[in-house]
Chain A
Amino acid sequence: MGIKVDPKKCVSCMACEMACGYHRDDGFALLSSCIMVTRGREKRDYSAVVLKEEENLVIARPEGLEVRKLGSGGEADQSKGKEDASAKPLLLREPCDLCSDREDGPLCLQFCPADAISLG
């Protein structure tokens, strides 16, 4: 069970990011959100939704989903995709916990105005 994002429905409003930030910080802020709308390619109108899970970084791109193993390639002689057992967490953006302490479930899903987020 995890968060699923349909990037074609997403309107890049950042409500999910703010909802997640609230879940982490009990206030409004964006620094700790584990779901992020990439906005850096504004002139090209290219955007994706990035979700940090326990083990994966899920990048929901309009053209398809990309899943990257987190902490992969930690040792110099390892090839891409290998896991680094000794990688220490950075504790900045904690992985998605599906808002496990909330009865109603994930906040990002509840605040998405475009129904682009679901559980699956």
Chain B
Amino acid sequence: MPSSISYRNQTSFDPPIGIYMGRGASHSWLWFVEILDRMGFYHVHFVDEKDILSGGLEPINVLLMSGGDTFAIAEGLGAEGSDQLRRFIEGGGVYIGTCAGAYLPLRSSMDFLNQFNFINVKISNISRRLSESERYSFKRFACSPYGCDFVFHVVREDVLLEMVNGYQKDGKKEIIAPLYGGPSMLPSEDIEPIATYKGFTRKTKFFVKEELAEKTLIGNIAVAKKSMGKGHLFIFGPHFEHPHYPACNLFLTELIRKNQNGRPHTTQKDFSGNPIKGEVVRELLKDLKRELSNARIITSGMSDFSVRWLIGNKYYEPEKFRVFLEAIWNRLKYLESGKEVDFDLKDPTEIFSQLKGMTHLLRQMKKGIDRGEATHGLAEDLFLNLKQVTSDFLAIYFRTKRMESIRAQA
């Protein structure tokens, strides 16, 4: 069961936070959404590569970059995106990267990635560190190509970490966190270690013999900090934002809270102050619910495990599409329970039209699947649309929550 921890009352201020949901992002950015919502951080922006290139980092203090396809993220941002990111951090911004978001700023000679050499650190899970026989065994599974080398993964699921350099969580030095392909870093003068890989648990899933897993991970760095100008980068191998790990979630949000000195806290209002009310909002939400229900019903109709699509470097199953729809569905009730919603769109029905378009795409896909036709192109369009409509909806949701929270404080 998901944890029901709430940190709302302890939030004294609400720093503007950006969540990256653009090219290369998988679904785990929704985990950041979940924990921010739960912990009472409502000043949330959603940014994609285009936003970053057009000054989208300007209004935020923190950028959260979760898992996905590192190469696609780097390619999408390019050299200009890298400059924007560097300026953001040096100007006092906080970059928090987990998994793919952690690999992105590490030193690399690979195309695109080499534009993000912010941190001079080597990783222990790269094939050049393996013997020939070990290289051979890895080539068959649990690895991602990386130029002439490949990044390999020795375990999955839970790992035991040890906090170092005075970092701790509630006085404890050990913490269990989930690892899904994130990096293990070797000591380097360029970083301050925050946590190291200490051991395994009953829930650790081994891809290799335990000795090799130990050799690769134990004692190496799982979480690290690097300061750059007035700002900082925090790099997490494991997914501290996974919503089923409340201790990790708290550690992460405390980190956000404690690192707000480098960049002036914006006082800019992120909601319109002109919410839609009464019958109009009820009808709008009903229209939204109708389309959302139609869409989730189609995804449930596809969930018989017989179909999946390759998008970028990753495979997608219908259930992955449902994750996005459920993220909206579960928050729609909150908006329905209130009297006002801050749509703040030129045309409040825009999101409804987006959803309608998505339902249409889903129906086309379902028909295609039933007829044995190729649906890969549709799936690609759908995934892009899904990310957009989900982040648009979530922006409305957070704006409304923030408006209500500020009013309540007043």
Contact = CB atoms under 8 A, between A and B. Distances in A.
Direct contact of A and B (CB under 8 A): yes
Interface residues of A, number: 27
Contact of B323 (A38, A87, A90): A90
A88 B28 contact: yes
Q: Which bracket fits the contact residues of B?
A: 35 or more
Interface string B95-112: 000011000000000000
A83 B301 contact: no
Interface string B15-32: 000000000001110000
B67 A92 contact: no
A57 interface: yes
B319 A92 contact: yes
A74 interface: yes
A113 B296 CA distance: 31
A106 B142 CA distance: 32
Contacts of B84: none
A91 interface: yes
B153 A91 contact: no
Interface in A35-76: 38, 40, 50, 54-55, 57, 59, 68, 73-76
A87 B181 CA distance: 8
B322 interface: yes
Contacts of B323: 90-92
Interface in A1-58: 24, 38, 40, 50, 54-55, 57
A83 B207 contact: yes
B156 A85 contact: yes
Interface in A90-107: 90-93
Contacts of B313: 75-76
A65 to B, nearest CB: 14
Contacts of B181: 84-87
Nearest to A48: B304
A35 to B, nearest CB: 13
Interface of A: 24, 38, 40, 50, 54-55, 57, 59, 68, 73-78, 82-93
Interface of B: 1-2, 26-28, 67, 99-100, 140-145, 153, 156, 180-182, 205, 207, 239, 243-244, 301, 304-305, 310, 312-315, 319-320, 322-323, 326
Given A84-B142, A86-B67, 11 more contacts: A40-B301, A57-B305, A59-B305, A75-B144, A82-B140, A84-B181, A84-B314, A85-B180, A86-B144, A89-B180, A91-B243
Closest 9 CB pairs of A and B: A86-B181, A85-B153, A85-B142, A76-B313, A88-B28, A85-B181, A82-B141, A88-B180, A85-B156
